[in-house]
């Protein structure tokens, strides 16, 4: 299903934002390592400590949003990613992660619109294209299922529904973090 891409940190991002490369890289690396080693509470504490000193830091805010989403603390993650889109409207990654949360909560229409915004922001963002395809496939499955409810005698719908459902059986996916937004 729709996924969040893996976290990547680029030192160019650190230089462009004018914050100590070593301090930020270490803090972000620590948070990432702690979170993905199962120490999410410690990771969240470390992220909060860092953000207390540098509250506008996009990569750490983004990582915190990933951790909130991973913990299924969706309202907080949505608020954080939404604020990132407001503060950095040229970053596609927060839109992608918002869409992943919308999809996880069953709001595929909102997920589609949010992914379309990600692609307006960065037309070459492959993960958002893939996620949009997944959302369209899910919406198609919902439409085919509704068509069958309305007309169970329609013989053309069951093969279409089966085909769409088979797409998701082929390779199940699990959200595992996200790209660090680049500036």
Task: Report pTM.
Answer: 0.79
Render pLDDT for 29-67 as a digit per residue (tens, 0 to 9): 999 999 999 999 999 999 999 999 999 999 999 999 999
Fold of 11-170: 1.25.40
Domain spans, the chain: 11-170
State the Rg of the chain over Cα: 19
Cβ proximity of 81 and 115 under 8 Å = no
| 143-166 tens-digit pLDDT | 999 999 999 999 999 999 999 999
Sorted by sequence, the CB contacts under 8 Å of residue 172 that are 6+ apart come out as 1
Instruction: Report, as an integer, the average pLDDT of 82-93.
Output: 96
Distance between CA atoms of residues 100 and 104, nearest Å = 6
């Amino acid at each position: 299903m729709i996924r969040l891409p893996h976290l990547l940190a680029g030192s160019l991002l650190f230089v462009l934002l004018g914050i100590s490369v070593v301090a930020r890289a270490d803090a972000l690396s620590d948070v990432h390592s702690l979170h993905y080693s199962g120490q999410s509470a410690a990771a969240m504490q470390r992220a909060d400590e860092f953000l207390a000193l540098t509250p506008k830091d996009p990569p750490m805010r983004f990582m915190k949003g990933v951790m909130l989403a991973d913990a299924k603390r969706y309202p907080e993650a949505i608020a954080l990613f939404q604020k990132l889109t407001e503060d950095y409207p040229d970053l596609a990654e927060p839109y992608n992660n918002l869409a992943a949360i919308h999809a996880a909560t069953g709001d595929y229409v909102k997920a589609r619109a949010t992914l379309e915004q990600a692609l307006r922001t960065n037309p070459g963002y492959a993960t958002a294209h893939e996620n949009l395809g997944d959302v369209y496939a899910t919406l198609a499955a919902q439409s085919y299922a509704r068509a069958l409810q309305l007309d169970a005698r329609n013989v053309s719908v069951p093969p279409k529904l089966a085909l769409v459902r088979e797409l998701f059986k082929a390779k199940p996916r699990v959200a595992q973090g996200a790209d660090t937004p680049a500036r």
